[in-house]
Amino acid sequence: MSLLLALAAAAASPAPASPPQKALAPAEIVAGAPAADWVAIAPSDLLVMDLAPHSAQRPHRVVIQLLPAPFSQGWVGNIRKLAAAHWWDGTSINRAQDNYVVQWGDPDGEDKAKAKALPATLLTVPQSEYVVADFYGREGGTADSIGYRIEKQTSRDPYAAMTTFNGGFPIAGADGNAWPIHCYGTVGVGRDMPPDTGTGAELYAVIGHAPRQLDRNIAVVGRVIEGMEHLSTLPRGTGDLGFYKTAPERTPIRSVRLGSDVPDLPRFEYLGTESASFAAYADARANRRDAFYIQPAGGVDICNVPVPIRRRK
């Protein structure tokens, strides 16, 4: 925050001898961020899903970054077990609903007679795990000390008292509690009616406007960091809720592995959400002053500040 103020002050009164500075676009700020502002992502925190290709030209690999502690770790643990067991191999993408989600897993999961058996070691995670209680106490700080708080810019998230970033992921909070947020590309756990919370075997990715009504109602477990277009461009299903009506419409999943089990996987890194570069980037997302813009918005919602992620050089 003080950094932002410093930046604003610098912009208001540049040193007389220096040439006028061009207002940077968010992408320019990201491109100029020093290496120290980037945070490497451990391959063991990646889920790598290989799909049957639609054409010979492009690989159909989707890379998902799993959510770090303290959020959703019961489900994330199940997902690690499912990947280790190669459980998703031979399952499929079964649903694509426009402006909502693409969903994958066992197409026969609803039919107990035909459903694929799950590893016996999966945990049943309680609903209480949708939210982390006493979040600031756990983190050894206060709301002010944690990440880059969007409401410093706007004070106006429609869904929560505060939004911020933690460990590179967007989170929301109120009354000392905190929970992960559904944005474009977020991966969550499909479930039946409550109190069921899902195992993690049935997953979805958001392919439209942020469905924030799902926050605290369903487990967020990660986000797509590469290959999103292989999900977002899938033909939409014509059944209820975008489910495919016939088996041939489903995209087969060849394999899902943890990144640490994939040879030659590129390394990835995200722009640290507590770095000065990220603060400048978020400020620019909220107040576009680069040449294309004539009216800075004066605010931004947290899902419109996607955390920059790239392959590590």
| H helix runs in the chain, sequence order | 2-12, 26-32, 73-84, 135-139, 228-232, 276-286
| Binding of residue 209 to a copy of itself (CB under 8 A) | yes
Q: Name which position in 41, 303, 307, 309 contacts a copy of itself (CB under 8 A).
A: 303
Q: What are phi and psi of 146, to 5 degrees?
A: -105, 115
| Binding of residue 177 to a copy of itself (CB under 8 A) | no
User: What's the CA gap between 258 and 247, in Å, rounded?
Assistant: 27
Whether residue 102 contacts residue 190, with contact meaning beta carbons closer than 8 Å, is answered with: no
Within 232-251, which residues bind a copy of itself (CB under 8 A)?
A: 232-236
Compute how many residues bind a copy of itself; rule: CB under 8 A: 50
Whether residue 31 contacts residue 271, with contact meaning beta carbons closer than 8 Å, is answered with: no
Q: Name which position in 53, 77, 266, 306 contacts a copy of itself (CB under 8 A).
A: 306
Sheet holding 38-41, edge to edge: 38-41, 268-271, 309-311
| Part in contact with a copy of itself (CB under 8 A); list of ranges 85-93, 155-163, 258-266, 267-275 | 155-163
Q: Considering beta carbons, is residue 121 or 213 the nearer one to a copy of itself?
A: 213
Q: How far is the CB of 121 from a copy of itself (least distance, A)?
A: 26
Q: Considering beta carbons, is residue 82 or 286 the nearer one to a copy of itself?
A: 286
Helix, strand, coil shares, percent, the chain, to 5: 25, 25, 50
Within 81-120, which residues bind a copy of itself (CB under 8 A)?
A: 98-99
Q: How far is the CB of 17 from a copy of itself (least distance, A)?
A: 29
| 236-259 b/e (C-beta count within 10 Å ≥ 16 → b) | ebeeeebbbeeeebbbebbbbbbb
Q: Considering beta carbons, is residue 26 or 259 the nearer one to a copy of itself?
A: 26
Interface positions with a copy of itself (CB under 8 A): 98-99, 127, 130, 150, 153-160, 183-185, 193-194, 207-213, 215-217, 228-229, 232-236, 285, 288, 291-295, 297-301, 303-304, 306
